[in-house]
Amino acid sequence: MAIASSGSISIGNAAGSGRSINVELGRTHNTANSRMEADLVTTAVTGSTPREDGTVAQARPHAFSEWYSYAHTQDFGTPTYYVRTGTGTSDYCVFNECDIVAGETEAGAATIFFMKLNGTTVEFYMDPSHVIRYSPTQPGAITSLSETAHYKNTSGTTVSFSGNHSSGFTPVKIAQLYTGSVSGLQARIYSQGLSGIGTYVTTEAGYTLANDGILGNDDTGWRTPHASTLYGVGVAALTLPVAFNGNWSERTSYHRIVCEVKATGYNTKTFNKFVSYLNAYALSDADVPE
């Protein structure tokens, strides 16, 4: 709107004809009772009136008082992804396997998914567990052991983790979201059993893991992301104990991982899904007692 001269303005004539909204609207500057409804807003503005209850449909907004308590929310930007996303078993972004032959043993494979705050960016990572592996009950009785961990990048190419099952791995970032300086910032990670027989890790050094006690689902709940307190979920595949020669047990599990971020005045951002593929195999070669 163009006002002819500087100074305070008015709808009517209090500010003078050169600074009157009525004049800009093509009306006599001292016209009385100008209204937002009929005079300042045309019928070109359509849609629902943003009243407090948000239910009154009108062609245009009315009085300023009708905007009282109106809460406008906005969307975050688009997350950046660093590994493959998807919802099915063929879309897995991480593979972790333990294959062991021993006298009496059980096998395990697990991957930790966790969140971290880096300035004004919420980051999500994955880390194959080097703790959940195997448990021979006879020291030195391991006949063979094979452990594998790799991930898929956004192109679907297989990439090796840095590190190993003995000393640990360097976590790999799977996604991040720049939020800027917002209030009430929170994030969460939850997992869903997708296929096979899977379970969850409840404790792992360096992480604060979810443990909601619900079989087939685990959820950190909404947490304030932190630079050093790493909230996450640990998904796993574990075999049952095997004690006799020729007996074996195998567990293959797929988990779907969901990451979300929210803040005051923003719509909750749900990321693309991530899928974890875990396999644990144990074979006993112990002598059968006579």
In the chain, what is the greatest distance between 2 CA atoms, to the nearest angstrom?
112
So what's the pLDDT on residue 187? 97
Which residues fall within 8 angstroms of residue 28, CB to CB, at 6 or more apart?
Answer: 22
CB 134 within 8 A of CB 282: yes
Non-local (6+) Cβ contacts of 157 within 8 A are none
Q: What is the pTM of this model?
A: 0.75
Residue 11: partners with Cβ closer than 8 Å, 6 or more residues away: 20, 21, 22, 34
When pLDDT is cut at 50, 70 and 90, the band that residue 63 belongs to is low
Residue 204 is assigned to a structural domain of this protein? yes
Residue 56 lies in a domain: no
> Residue 188 falls within a domain, yes or no?
yes
Least confidently predicted of 61-75, 110-124, 164-178, 210-224: 61-75
DSSP state letter for 21: H
Mean pLDDT of the chain: 83
Predicted pLDDT of residue 65: 59
Q: Is residue 256 part of a domain?
A: yes
Helix (H, G, I), strand (E, B), or coil: what is residue 158? strand
- The reply to whether 54 falls in a domain is no
Asked whether residue 226 carries a pLDDT value surpassing 70, the answer given is yes
**Domain assignment of residue 16, yes or no:** no
Decide if pLDDT at 134 tops 80.
Answer: yes
The model's pLDDT over 80-112, given as tens digits with 9 standing for 90+, comes to: 999 999 999 999 999 999 999 988 889 999 999
Nearest to 134 by CA among 237, 287, 244: 237
Does the pLDDT value for residue 156 go beyond 70? yes
Buried b (16+ CB within 10 A) or exposed e, 169-180: bebbebbbbebe
Tokens of 81: 């992804």
pLDDT at 216 over 90: no
Bigger pLDDT: 148 vs 32 = 148
- Is 50 exposed, middle or buried (CB count within 10 Å of its CB: 0-12, 13-18, 19+)? middle
Q: Are 213 and 190 in contact (CB under 8 A)?
A: no
**What is the number of domains present in the chain?**
1
- How far apart (Å, rounded) are the C-alpha atoms in residues 28 and 17? 9
State mean pLDDT over 3-29.
62
User: By percentage, how much of the chain surpasses pLDDT 70?
Assistant: 71
pLDDT (0 to 100) of residue 141? 83
- Give the confidence band of 44 by pLDDT, cuts at 50, 70, 90: very low
Cβ contacts of 222 within 8 Å, gap of 6 or more: 186, 187, 188, 262
| Tokens, residue 20 | 């009157």
Domain range for 124 is 80-284
Q: Which of 169-173, 210-214, 282-286 has the lowest mean pLDDT?
A: 210-214
